[in-house]
């Protein structure tokens, strides 16, 4: 099976999943995964529990927030950039409305509505 490489950025407390070259505040990984891998598969490969991530971006599009993670089955493509922030990193609520987001998150917000928190 063919492999793809994704550019993964881990911020805050998530940096500890970045291996020995990670700094205390961030880590950058080039992760090779089989073609067709989802975000869930990537998280499993780097041993990062999804419950520890907060705001997440895939190619600059918002894909998850604390308590709302509809992006787990999002299929990754070669060269994608994924940025994940720990749960203590906050993104001001007022900027979430109208933000560019992956289709899975847009659908989840249409179904649930926009809230300050999702837990």
DSSP string computed for 45-110: HTT--GGGEEEEEETTEEEEBTTB-TTTTPBP-TT-EEEEEETT----HHHHTT--B-HHHHHHHH
14 belongs to a structural domain: yes
Query: Is the pLDDT confidence value at 91 over 70?
Result: no
CATH number of the domain at 75, please: 3.10.20.30
25 belongs to a structural domain: yes
For the stretch 2-25, pLDDT in tens is 999 999 999 999 999 998 888 999
Domain around 85? 3-112
Query: Is the pLDDT confidence value at 116 over 50?
Result: no
- Would you state the pLDDT for residue 114? 60
High-pLDDT (> 90) share of the chain, %: 60
34 belongs to a structural domain: yes
Query: Is the pLDDT confidence value at 98 over 80?
Result: no
Return d(Cα 31, Cα 69) in angstroms, integer.
21
119 belongs to a structural domain: no
Could you tell me the pTM of the whole model? 0.82
117 belongs to a structural domain: no
- Would you state the pLDDT for residue 112? 72
Beta bridge partners of 9: 28, 83
Instruction: Please tell me the total count of domains within the chain.
Output: 1
Query: Is the pLDDT confidence value at 30 over 50?
Result: yes
pLDDT, mean of residues 72-85: 97
Higher local confidence (pLDDT), 98 or 25: 25
Tokens standing for residue 77: 């493509």
52 belongs to a structural domain: yes
Whether residue 118 contacts residue 67, with contact meaning beta carbons closer than 8 Å, is answered with yes
Query: Is the pLDDT confidence value at 65 over 60?
Result: yes
104 belongs to a structural domain: yes
């Amino acid at each position: 099976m063919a492999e793809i490489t994704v550019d993964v950025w881990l911020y805050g407390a998530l940096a500890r999943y970045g291996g020995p070259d990670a700094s205390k505040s961030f880590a950058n990984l080039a992760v090779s995964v089989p073609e067709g891998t989802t975000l869930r598969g990537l998280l499993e490969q780097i041993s990062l529990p999804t419950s520890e991530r907060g705001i997440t971006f895939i190619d600059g599009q918002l894909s998850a927030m604390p308590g709302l993670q509809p992006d787990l089955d999002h299929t990754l493509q070669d060269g994608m950039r994924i940025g994940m922030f720990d749960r203590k990193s906050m993104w001001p609520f007022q900027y979430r409305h109208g933000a560019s987001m992956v289709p899975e998150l847009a659908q989840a917000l249409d179904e649930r509505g926009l809230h300050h928190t999702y837990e």
